[in-house]
A and B are shown apart, each in its own frame.
Chain A
Amino acid sequence: MNTFVRWLGYLFVIFIAAPLLVVVPMSFSTSSSLEFPPPGLSLQYYEKFFSDPAWLRPAWNSILIASATTILTMILVIPATFALVRHRFWGKGIANLMMMMPLAVPHIVMAVGYYSYFGELRLVHTHLGVILAHTCLSVPITFLVLSANLKGFDRTLEQAARSLGASPRRVFLHITLPILRPGLMISALFAFIQSFDETVVAIFISGRGAETLPRKMFDSIRQEADPVIAVVSTLLFVAVILGLLAPQIVKAVQSALGRSARNASE
């Protein structure tokens, strides 16, 4: 490869990774404020994070909200995707557009909308409010991933299963669902990450009652520039990386197990 292009590539990687290169070292700092480079190394802020309810409560909130968002999103998106990918009906174009809308509208606009509307419904500062809002935001990306998977699904497999004696319900359970499983896992993962990372809407409506981790970080940096923020950032980063790598890890483990099972049987 051309040397120039190669260096351009390195430069790009550094540019993308730069924030991490700053944040990760700061999380191991001894300094009493956010400071780069760190004057000394310690685990004191990790200790603080894992012992302070003011941080653990938002962390728990985030996990709870992201999990509920994921479940609700999947319940809505799976049937919607089958309908939109496999069937033709009146208003399909509009329905498609509506599904993708949250991707186009700025989060701040959505947030203002939720703030005033959920206020009337008394959903502001509640877990349910944040879950509902996050579900709306997770729908487009989940739908995109799942519909790409479903479009690539060979429907003669379903015909074959029917001809072999399976009712439509059993076809879905024995054939369609297992084959789509990787796509379902990935889209669920995206829904989870989307909710876990979401900040703008959370700042507007999560309040004290349902405060999420990104919101707590935002408050914290405005008030005190607490280095625990760097710890949380690092942990969030590690969690997301693990989440994204999960399918590969699972696959590697499965194929290793499958190989040893086959070796054993031969």
Chain B
Amino acid sequence: MSSYLQLSGINKTYGNFTALENVDLEVEKGEFVTFLGPSGSGKTTTLMLIAGFATPTRGTIDIEGASLAGLDPQDRNIGIVFQNYALFPHKTAAENVYFPLQMRDVKRLEGMRRADEMLDLVGLAGFSHRYPKELSGGQQQRVALARALVFEPDLLLLDEPLGALDKNLREQMQIEIKRIQKKLGVTTIFVTHDQTEAMSMSDRICVFSNGKIEQLGKPLDIYHRPKTKFVADFIGESNLIPARITDAANCKAQSNVLGDVTYGTQSGTELRDGQEVSLVIRPEHLKLSSKRLADRMSAGIEIETIVNYGDNALVIGTSESQQIRVRVPGADVVILNEGDKCFISWTQDDVFVVTD
């Protein structure tokens, strides 16, 4: 298999601290891959290793089969957008974008023309002569993007670039970055701890936890078929309910909270009878009703809190002192009261099993 970017057996330790352990990853040309994880999970460390600002303790990184080992950051031809944009304050927007071309000995006239073209592409025509401090956060972001792309890098790395923007601008920039990335076809790695960002932008998501890759897959696969408790908990909202496998061959488990449960088939891990596992049910897959429904599995809960969001509501109930979260459409919530006793119900496909 000839992947474009290949990380094999990457380890990185700082003294006694293991920042990365056996990271393997293959990225195709033109792909948009997101590194998702909480801070300290190793996603930024991996990015820094690819960029060349740190050296892996073990393992290799290749682009198109050629090793990056021993190449200084300036010789890797990788564009980076930093979290704080890192625009040069003493240079105008156009001069910032011209800088990588200047370093490649492109003449000023030609370089500034290309810088202006790139600023056009990111939607900043007419801002060439502004200094970074005269630009808004979103505009600075676009300059940083233009600067990282103007020299036609082999790889684009984005390190939490949207973290500093407010919500509306962030959504706008998500769409914008996707548009530009598609147009140029540049292979992109995007680092974030924001799961909605990861879901909406990526071709594939790589979930990091404690220096390891927990799961790698398409956004919806990861959402619907998390392999571990960590992924189920980190991506989207989940009810994680402790249970014990009673009959692995027939997908049966038993839980104090939900009673006897038949779970959907699920990928990967071998389960054996008697194994302690967690059952995952997304809050939007649970239904609330006043009576048990014949065609669905169900369990009784007592409603504790109702949080209204307008278009939908989050109902938090308890059963056997376990919190259960249920998403209901906004229109349905008016008949519910805190303290009501009712039933949650689900089907086999809504339940999947994860191990620790």
Contacts and interface: CB of A to CB of B under 8 A. Distances in A.
Interface of A: 154, 156-157, 159-167, 170, 174-175, 178-179, 262, 265
Given A165-B151, A262-B129, A154 B100 contact: no
Contacts of B89: 179
Nearest to B78: A163
B104 interface: yes
B129 A160 contact: no
A165 B88 contact: no
Contact of B73 (A157, A163, A170, A262): A163
B82 A160 contact: yes
Contacts of A265: 129
Given A164-B100, A174-B99, A156 B84 contact: yes
B147 interface: yes
Q: Which of B51, B82, B103, B104 has the most CB of A within 10 A?
A: B103
A236 to B, nearest CB: 34
Interface in B90-108: 90, 99-100, 102-104
The main secondary structure of chain A at its interface with chain B is: helix
Given A164-B100, A165-B103, A179 B151 contact: no
Instruction: State which size class the interface on B falls in.
Output: 20 to 34
Interface of B: 51-53, 72-80, 82-84, 86, 88-90, 99-100, 102-104, 129, 147-148, 151
B80 A163 contact: yes
B189 to A, nearest CB: 13
A265 B127 CA distance: 12
A4 B166 CA distance: 47
Given A156-B86, A174-B99, 11 more contacts: A159-B53, A159-B86, A160-B88, A162-B52, A163-B73, A163-B78, A165-B100, A165-B104, A167-B72, A179-B88, A179-B89
B198 to A, nearest CB: 23
Contact of B88 (A159, A162, A175, A262): A175
Contacts of B147: 164
A160 B90 contact: no
